[in-house]
Amino acid sequence: MDTHLALLDDAARRAEQYRRTSTTRRVAPTTSEIDALRALEEPFPESPSAPADVLAILDRVGSPATVATTGGRFYGFVNGGVLPAALAASWLVSAWDQNVALRVMSPAGAAFEDVALGWVLDVLGLPRTSGGAIVTGATTANFCGLAAARHALLERAGWDVDNDGLFGAPPLRVVVGEEVHVSLLKALGLLGLGRRRVERVAVDGQGRMRADALPVLDDRTIVCVQAGNVNTGAFDPAAEICRRAHERGAWVHVDGAFGLWAAASPRYRHLTDGFHDADSWATDGHKWPNVGYDCGIALVRHPDALRAAMAMTSAYFAPGDRREPSQFSPEMSRRARGVELWAALRSLGRRGLADLIERTSSHAQRFADGLRERGYEILNDVVINQVLVSFGTPEVTRATVARIQEDGVLWCGTTEWQGRTAMRLSVSSWATTEDDVRLSLEAIERAAR
Ligand SMILES: Cc1ncc(COP(=O)(O)O)c(C=O)c1O
């Protein structure tokens, strides 16, 4: 075997060993495995190392200190576990090492991206004429959608924000729900619209924005709605909000990092009613669809608004006459993220994606039922894959979660929900089985005793 092949073969063997053990090992690494990362803190080597030796260090030091998010019992944040087809695709795409800035730099990368974006619009039920970008995550996707909104509203007001900036521009208003995700506020900050300079709308007990509490809107306003609250999974009443916003010429942006994928499921699609009417959408491939990290998707009803905010040209960097990936995204050089999105969707198909959404949501329901039966309080209506649990006082809930994390059978975190401290479960991985839920319920019960 030539040395290059032997190296890749070694990587495959180590990855397979990692994958196998990730279903049985502790979910979070031990303190000593984390401490062992100090072995990395050596001076920058003077001489080269054999690639096989580099890989061996990576596996010996790195693998044990990873969190087993691919194993089926990680319920923290909203993290998927990479699908087999997406993992394999990411290896091949790394071997290609394509820069998908311009089509001429990677016809393949651009084509996979085009197709993947088209499929996402299709399966999410969004206007097929929308444009988009494949970016690093929903934070950047929010940034893209809001940049398009900023461009479009200010252009309508006779102001060229992309060239002249915000100094002296007609002021824009931004309306968000009290339960806005922090990443959206960060995106507003990056765009000069201000994290704090927002009008907050009251929400109901599930965190849904109250349409009846919206301020008077106008054509200089961006209204940000949410498909899937990060704690409860709840959906804002988008149809009513879009109707009111559009009557006044406002722009509606959707943060649908994970919840928007409910549209892929016949059982849950109704939750996304009305989101189709918005002007821009942000979602993630790396959350519910289980594309590997990282993969976010920005979509904009009128692609020209996104292009105007993102495009750049130079004598040596001239776009062709078809869609150029980097003309729609914040980056110039960019990896061929669309390939892994394509691979995940191609392997799932419409039915597989619906099944993934429905299976993980059923597991969430199993968690809620099992914990309620054991006498613990479920704080949210479990509408999709998110469950909030209280074990009593904030101290008791926090101590219980600490024991769960220490025990290692599963991993989940805590949150604060409308004045209550809660354990937060998010079932987002294709790899989670009924057995995982059973083992996890037993471990939670042990920790709570
Ligand atoms: C509703 C919502 N929006 C945005 C984000 C940020 O996503 P990302 O981490 O992919 O940037 C998250 C992450 O959990 C989220 O739940």
- Between the CA of 142 and the centroid of ligand 1 the distance, in Å, is 9
Residue among 382, 425, 184, 429 nearest 288 (CA): 429
pLDDT lower than 70: segments of the chain: none
Taking CB atoms within 8 Å and a gap of at least 24, the contacts of 62-65 are 62/37, 63/14, 63/18, 64/29, 64/33, 64/36, 65/29, 65/33, 65/34, 65/36, 65/37
At 1 the pLDDT is: 75
Q: In a mutational test of the pocket of ligand 1, which residue from 230, 232, 283, 337 has the highest number of ligand atoms less than 8 Å from its CB?
A: 230
Tokens 């940034």 map to which residue? 143
What is residue 296's three-state secondary structure? Answer: strand
Q: Which residues line ligand 1 (CB under 6 A)?
A: 77-78, 137-139, 181, 183, 226, 228, 230, 255, 257-258, 284, 296
At 177 the pLDDT is: 98
- Between the CA of 270 and the centroid of ligand 1 the distance, in Å, is 22
Residues 6+ apart with CB under 8 A from 94: none
- Between the CA of 318 and the centroid of ligand 1 the distance, in Å, is 33
What's the Cα-to-Cα distance from 140 to each of 76, 86, 248, 298, 356, rounded to whole Å? 21, 21, 27, 8, 25
Query: Atom 12 (ligand 1): residue with closest C-alpha?
Result: 257
- Between the CA of 13 and the centroid of ligand 1 the distance, in Å, is 33
Q: In a mutational test of the pocket of ligand 1, which residue from 135, 178, 180, 183 has the highest number of ligand atoms less than 8 Å from its CB?
A: 183
- Between the CA of 420 and the centroid of ligand 1 the distance, in Å, is 22
At 336 the pLDDT is: 97
Looking only at the bridges linking them, the beta strands covering 280-284 and 251-255 are parallel
- 383 phi-psi bin (left φ>0, alpha ψ -120 to 50, beta other): alpha
Which helix (H) or strand (E) is 434 found in, with range? helix 434-448
What is the DSSP code (8-state) at residue 300? Answer: E
For the chain, give the number of residues: 449
